[in-house]
């Protein structure tokens, strides 16, 4: 395989596979891109060298120092296609993994980004967009939640975006969220009705982390989440700052145990 676009396509289609990334790094080195190759190799090694023994710690220190050098010298170039929506902290295992972007600009740029990098994590900064033509704000949750682009994401962060139960009903109609592992909805306005929508979404069967803090959820919503047949893989449920009485906290604790926080 000698076509760079073919390598990138494989990496984007298989974001958990480090082997393809390392083969691509070899290809880059063969084609004179030694710094980019070194960065990918170092990031993959760092991800697979957790802190443990003294030797591990020493090796991690070397890898962190080398990563800082490479990013200082080349980070702006490697981020060029994603500015201003990604930063140096957006990299994971050698590639941009995370962007922070308004909903409308995600829909505008995501196809191109998905061809360049295994983008799996998006923090949406707003869904309320000023329309210069009409001179009013427009709400972008419907086109966003209907977009097939969401099916590529493992983490969706929509904290503090004024979402309501109606918005979640649109998300509940999405045909494929099978890759989604983390959903952050803290400090919105979904209420118990929105919690019921989440509880009844079969698309969330693989979800591992759900954050619904500060959403005006009451006992009804808490019970719905506790009784959901689709949230069995949750490792973390964050649901504080809601009006839930003790007996329903007990129901949540019985269902989710140590996952409840």
Q: What integer pLDDT is reported at residue 133 of this predicted model?
A: 80
For residue range 160-176, what is the model confidence (pLDDT) as tens digits?
Answer: 999 999 999 999 999 99
Residue 130: per-residue pLDDT:
86
CB contact at 8 A, 149 and 124: no
- Rounded to whole angstroms, the Cα distance separating 134 from 182 reads 35
| Section 59-86 average pLDDT | 97
Average model confidence (pLDDT) across the chain: 96
Report phi then psi at 231, rounded to 5.
Answer: -110, 30
pLDDT tens per residue, range 182-217: 999 999 999 999 999 999 999 999 999 999 999 999
Give the number of other Cβ atoms within 10 Å of residue 39's Cβ: 25
DSSP output for 84-147? TS--GGGEETTEE-EEEE-HHHHHHHHHHHHHHS---EEEE--SEEEETTTTEEEE-HHHHHH-
pLDDT higher than threshold 60 for residue 31: yes
**Could you tell me where the DSSP H helices lie in the chain?**
4-13, 18-30, 34-47, 54-78, 103-116, 141-146, 165-171, 191-199, 219-227, 246-256
pLDDT tens, residue by residue, 105-131: 999 999 999 999 999 999 999 999 988
Q: What is the mean pLDDT of residues 80-106?
A: 97
Q: In this predicted structure, what is the pLDDT of residue 1?
A: 47
Confidence of residue 135 (pLDDT cuts 50, 70, 90): confident
Q: What is residue 2's predicted lDDT score, i.e. its pLDDT?
A: 55
Span 66-79, average pLDDT: 97
Rounded to two decimals, the pTM is 0.94
Lowest mean pLDDT among 34-38, 130-134, 157-161, 252-256: 130-134
Query: Rounded to a whole number, what is the distance in angstroms from the first to the last CA of the chain?
Result: 47
């Amino acid at each position: 395989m000698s076509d760079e676009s073919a390598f990138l396509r494989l990496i984007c289609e298989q974001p958990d596979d480090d082997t393809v990334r390392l083969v691509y790094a070899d290809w880059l080195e063969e084609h004179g891109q030694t710094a980019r190759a070194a960065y990918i190799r170092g990031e993959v090694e760092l991800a697979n060298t957790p802190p443990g023994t003294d030797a591990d710690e020493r090796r991690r220190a070397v890898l962190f120092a080398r990563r800082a050098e490479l990013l200082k010298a080349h980070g702006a170039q490697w981020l060029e296609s994603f500015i201003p929506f990604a930063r140096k902290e957006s990299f994971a295992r050698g590639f941009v993994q995370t962007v922070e972007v308004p909903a409308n600009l995600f829909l505008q740029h995501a196809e191109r980004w998905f061809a360049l990098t295994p983008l799996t994590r998006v923090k949406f900064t707003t869904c309320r967009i000023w329309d210069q033509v009409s001179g009013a704000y427009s709400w972008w949750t419907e086109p966003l939640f209907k977009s097939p682009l969401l099916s590529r994401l493992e983490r969706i962060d929509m904290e503090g975006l004024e979402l309501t139960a109606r918005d979640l009903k649109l998300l509940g109609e999405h045909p494929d969220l099978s890759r989604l592992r983390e959903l952050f909805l803290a400090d919105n306005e979904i209420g118990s009705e929105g919690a019921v929508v989440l509880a009844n979404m079969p698309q969330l069967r693989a979800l591992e982390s759900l954050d619904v803090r500060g959403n005006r959820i009451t006992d009804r919503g808490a019970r719905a989440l506790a009784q959901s047949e689709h949230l069995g893989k949750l490792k973390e449920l964050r649901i504080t700052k809601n009006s839930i009485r003790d007996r329903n906290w007990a129901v949540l604790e019985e269902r989710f145990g140590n996952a409840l926080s």
